[in-house]
């Protein structure tokens, strides 16, 4: 490594600075060395320059470039780092996932290398209970007035909702991350996402479904389909815009396969939840409910 | 003279083992290093001999004192300092028992089973505690469990009131009354627990810690409200 103070070092310094803007992941060791080494040479009194520079550059690199020490995943501190968010961060991320803007990649704009687990976990939990409770209320409203209907809280559906949503929010990112890692070995990508970032995007993209699910309480089929379409568009576009830069350089068939898989799984989750938890509302008013019951009985879940 | 000086030097130490203190050098106070506060040492010796009723009543009184703290929540450290898990256990069992006997005849799609209530209350509290510790809270694990468990008291009281109202009838009037009671007690629970927990978090994360508590009591309130008796 160069350790002289000649004017050529400044040209290198500028190049390193440009590289840093293009790719935030670039190591900044060369910049820090350029800063420290002239100082060290001014202050040094007979130290062997290599050792001193190596140590100082390591420390300064860490502190000044903000790179975090990697902590093993079985320590509490690892997870504490994943909860290092404040209230306004979470609010911004939720709004960013609900209102996607073309060109604004969720990971680059909102996460900025600090994914959190708070959002995905609590959004998934809220969605689980929202689906179970809304489904219960909508079933109650649909069957209201029928003489032989006995209201049950249907608490077992919470378990089913939890399994579906948590497996979507955790297993699909795992599969996607594994697949992207595999493709990265074949095709060099400038953009690569860590597992936590993908989990974060998927978790926050589910946030739009919470108001949608609450709207599904009202027993109007057209309203339910409208809200499903709107929610699918918003959440699907967040996911597609986030993953587009990661697969852009790949083979066109692979791009289509990944994008359609992301969208199809999203659609499956939304339509599946709607079908399973929300029974079909009656088409005719309640005074003909006796006749409707006979014909609708085989079709309601 | 040397022996007298030695004797005098030895006297303070001798005075400890003696019940009667030497008349030459009155030793005041106790120069031994106590292992713990001397009052507690006396207690530990005497609790073995006290009647069982006294022991049980002492714990019950501590639990009752904490109930009063929950019912009139103000920022006090009493709940946090002497945490215990008897109160939460008592409340959880009572709530789970009161939630039985509902559509629990043979209809499996009924209300929550006894074990489900337990799981929701205890795992919910544990997850909220872990969440608050990950966000950098200064409260300890068991203190947080204790606070969350004790603040279920208003909802348990609401459950008892709901069952009494349901005995009278189960029409829409009774539903309206139950809705009001459950909403009020849910608000009370959330307010009481945040009064204890809010101090342990930095200001920019308070909402992040309060929201899971809100969700937790909302779900328990939902279980209380949707209890329907078997007819």
pLDDT for A156-179, tens place per residue? 788 888 899 999 999 999 999 998
Which residues from A are below 8 Å from B124, CB to CB?
Answer: none
Closest of B154, B139, B133 to residue B217, by C-alpha = B154
Q: Does A152 touch chain B (CB under 8 A)?
A: yes
Question: Region B203-231: what's the mean pLDDT?
Answer: 86
Q: Given pLDDT bands bounded at 50, 70 and 90, which one contains residue B213?
A: very high
Confidence (pLDDT) at A232: 92
Q: How far is A159 from chain B (nearest CA, A)?
A: 10
Taking the C-alpha atoms of residue B146 and residue B63, their distance in angstroms, rounded to an integer, is 11
Structure confidence at residue A107 (pLDDT): 76
Tokens linked to A104: 């604004």
Q: Flag residues of chain A having pLDDT under 50.
A: 1-3, 17, 22, 26, 28, 30-54, 56, 62, 65-66, 283-294, 296-297, 301
Looking at residue A33, what is its pLDDT? 44
pLDDT given at position A2: 47
Q: Are A152 and B109 in contact (CB under 8 A)?
A: yes
Please work out, in degrees rounded to the nearest 5, the angle formed at the alpha carbon of residue A42 by the alpha carbons of A38 and A48. 85
Measured between beta carbons, the chain A residues lying within 8 angstroms of B222 are: 129, 133
Q: What is the pLDDT of residue A165?
A: 92
Partner residue facing B215 (CB), from A126, A150, A151: A126
Three-class SS state of B101:
coil
**In the structure, what pLDDT confidence band is assigned to residue B26 with cuts at 50, 70 and 90?**
low
Residue A292 has what pLDDT? Answer: 44
3-state secondary structure of A84: coil
Say what the pLDDT of residue B31 is: 67
Query: Residue A103 has what pLDDT?
Result: 77
Which residues in chain A have Cβ-Cβ distances shorter than 8 Å to B107? 150, 152
* Residue whose C-alpha is closest to residue A204's, from A103, A117, A83, A114: A117
Are residues A156 and B108, on separate chains, in Cβ contact within 8 Å?
A: yes
A208: closest CA among A276, A126, A86?
A126
- From chain A, the residues in CB contact with B110 under 8 A are 152-153, 155
User: Of B103, B112, B208, which has the smallest distance from its Cβ to A118's Cβ?
Assistant: B208
Query: Positive or negative, the Cα torsion across A90, A92, A98, A104?
Result: negative
Beta-carbon separation of A85 and B208 below 8 A: yes
Residues A254 and A111: beta-carbon distance below 8 Å: no
A125 interfaces chain B, CB cutoff of 8 Å? yes
Interfacial residues of B (vs A; Cβ cutoff 8 Å)? 103, 107-113, 116, 131, 134-136, 204-208, 211-212, 215, 218-219, 222-223, 226-228, 231
Using CB atoms, which residue from A82, A83, A155 is nearest to B111? A155
Query: Angle of helix B153-168 relative to helix B206-225, nearest 10 degrees?
Result: 20
In order, the DSSP letters of B47-104 are TTTS-HHHHHHHHHHHHHHHHHHHHS--S-SHHHHT--SHHHHHHHHHHHHHTSSBS-
Query: In whole angstroms, what is the distance from residue A78 CA to residue A65 CA?
Result: 20
Residue A239 half-sphere exposure toward CB, CA atoms < 13 A: 29
Contact at CB, A155 and B223, closer than 8 angstroms: yes
Q: Are B112 and B104 in contact (CB under 8 A)?
A: no
Using one digit for the tens of pLDDT, what is the confidence trace for B84-139? 888 899 999 999 988 887 654 545 556 677 888 888 899 999 999 998 888 887 88
Task: Report how far residue B149's alpha carbon sits from residue B91's, in angstroms, rounded to the nearest whole number.
Answer: 8
Closest chain A residue to B119, measured at CA: A159
Q: How high is the pLDDT of residue B48?
A: 76
- pTM of the prediction? 0.72
On whether the CB atoms of residues A215 and A131 are closer than 8 A, the answer is: no
The pLDDT assigned to B33 comes to 66
What residues of B are in contact with residue A124 (Cβ under 8 Å)? none
A83 CB near a chain B CB, below 8 Å? yes
**Residue B102 dihedral angles phi and psi, to the nearest 5°:** -85, -150
A105 near A242, Cβ under 8 Å? Answer: yes
């Amino acid at each position: 490594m160069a350790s002289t103070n000649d004017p050529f070092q400044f040209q290198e310094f500028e190049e390193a600075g440009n590289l840093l803007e293009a790719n935030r992941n670039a190591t900044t060791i060369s910049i820090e060395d350029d800063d420290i080494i002239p100082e060290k040479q001014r202050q040094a009194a007979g130290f062997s320059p290599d050792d001193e520079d190596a140590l100082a550059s390591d420390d300064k690199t860490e502190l000044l470039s903000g790179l975090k020490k990697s902590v093993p995943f079985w320590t509490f501190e690892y997870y504490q780092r994943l909860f290092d968010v404040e209230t306004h961060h979470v609010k911004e991320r939720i709004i960013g996932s609900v209102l996607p803007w073309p060109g604004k990649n969720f990971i680059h704009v909102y996460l900025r290398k600090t994914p959190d687990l708070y959002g995905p976990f609590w959004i998934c939990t809220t969605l689980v209970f929202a689906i179970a409770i809304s489904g219960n209320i909508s079933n109650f409203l649909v069957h209201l007035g029928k003489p032989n209907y006995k209201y049950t809280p249907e608490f077992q559906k919470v378990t089913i909702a939890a399994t579906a949503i948590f497996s979507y929010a955790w297993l699909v990112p795992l599969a996607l991350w594994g697949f992207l890692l595999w493709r990265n070995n074949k095709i060099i990508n400038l953009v690569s996402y860590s597992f936590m970032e993908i989990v974060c995007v998927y978790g926050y993209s589910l946030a739009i479904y919470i108001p949608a699910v609450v709207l599904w309480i009202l027993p109007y089929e057209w309203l339910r389909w409208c809200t499903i379409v709107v929610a699918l568009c918003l959440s699907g576009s967040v996911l597609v815009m986030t993953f587009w830069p990661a697969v852009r350089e790949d083979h066109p068939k692979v791009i289509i396969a990944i994008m359609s898989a992301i969208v199809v799984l999203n659609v499956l989750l939304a339509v599946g939840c709607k079908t399973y938890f929300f029974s079909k509302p009656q088409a005719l008013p309640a005074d003909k409910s006796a006749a409707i019951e006979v014909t609708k009985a085989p079709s309601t879940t | 003279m040397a022996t007298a000086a030695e004797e005098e030097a030895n006297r303070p130490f001798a005075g400890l083992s003696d019940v009667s203190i030497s008349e030459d050098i009155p030793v005041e106070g106790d120069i031994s290093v106590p292992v713990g506060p001397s009052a507690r040492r006396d207690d530990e010796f005497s609790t073995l001999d006290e009647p069982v009723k006294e022991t049980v009543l002492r714990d019950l009184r501590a639990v009752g004192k904490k109930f009063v703290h929950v019912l009139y929540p103000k920022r006090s450290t009493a709940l946090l300092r002497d945490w215990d898990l008897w109160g939460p256990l008592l409340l959880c069992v009572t709530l789970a028992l009161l939630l039985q006997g509902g559509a629990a005849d043979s209809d499996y799609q009924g209300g929550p089973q006894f074990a489900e209530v337990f799981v929701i209350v205890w795992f919910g509290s544990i997850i909220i505690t872990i969440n608050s510790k990950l966000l950098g809270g200064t409260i300890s694990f068991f203190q947080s469990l204790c606070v969350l468990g004790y603040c279920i008291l208003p909802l348990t009281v609401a459950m008892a009131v709901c069952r009494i109202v349901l005995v009278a009838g189960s029409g829409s009037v009774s539903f309206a009354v139950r809705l009001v009671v459950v909403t009020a007690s849910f608000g009370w629970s959330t307010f009481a627990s945040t009064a204890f927990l809010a101090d342990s978090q930095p200001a920019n994360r308070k909402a992040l810690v309060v929201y899971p508590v809100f969700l937790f009591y909302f779900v328990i309130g939902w279980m209380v409200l949707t209890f329907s008796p078997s007819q």
